Amino acid sequence: MWKNVEHIGIAVRDLSHVNEVYSKLFGEPPYKSEAVELEQVDTSFFKVGNTKIEFLSATGPESAIAKFIEKRGEGIHHIAFEVEDIHNELERLQAEGFQFTRPEVSKGADNKLVCFIHPKSANGVLVELCQEIEN
């Protein structure tokens, strides 16, 4: 079952500049900053009411964020939905013919298991599925 939009991901060049600008804009600093080595990204998370915004910058040239910015410039990169059982959803959607950027669930930022539906399979939108890791 799909629950809600968990966050919106935005690709940026300079995360420290973004932290400065959006701290002013939202009136609060990011609540979390974290590197995801597998994806070669640094992330910063802001909260506005119940809505989370994730900013991502590349830490290496092979990062999907580096490639995205090279092609399209900075901007909205993905929409993340919280799901109840990410492994079930991955299996169900693969059976439905959806392509994923990786064929398995991995550990993402902000204490989440994640997987991404390739934009080719979702009308140009990179869709993230995520599930909170239970501690």
Binding site for Zn ion (CB under 5 A): 9, 54, 80, 128
CB of 73 to Zn ion, least distance (A): 19
The residue number whose beta carbon is nearest to Zn ion equals 9
Q: Which is nearer to Zn ion, 82 or 128 (CB)?
A: 128
State the Cα angle at 66 between 112 and 49, rounded to 5°.
40
Q: Which is nearer to Zn ion, 8 or 95 (CB)?
A: 8
Q: Which is nearer to Zn ion, 37 or 97 (CB)?
A: 37
CB of 57 to Zn ion, least distance (A): 13
Taking the chain, what is the end-to-end CA distance rounded to the nearest angstrom? 21
CB of 6 to Zn ion, least distance (A): 8
Alpha-carbon span 62 to 37, nearest angstrom:
12
The answer to whether residues 77 and 126 touch, using CB atoms and an 8 Å cutoff, is yes
Alpha-carbon span 21 to 98, nearest angstrom:
37
Q: Which is nearer to Zn ion, 9 or 30 (CB)?
A: 9
CB of 78 to Zn ion, least distance (A): 6
Q: Is 59 exposed, middle or buried (0-12, 13-18, 19+ CB in 10 A)?
A: middle
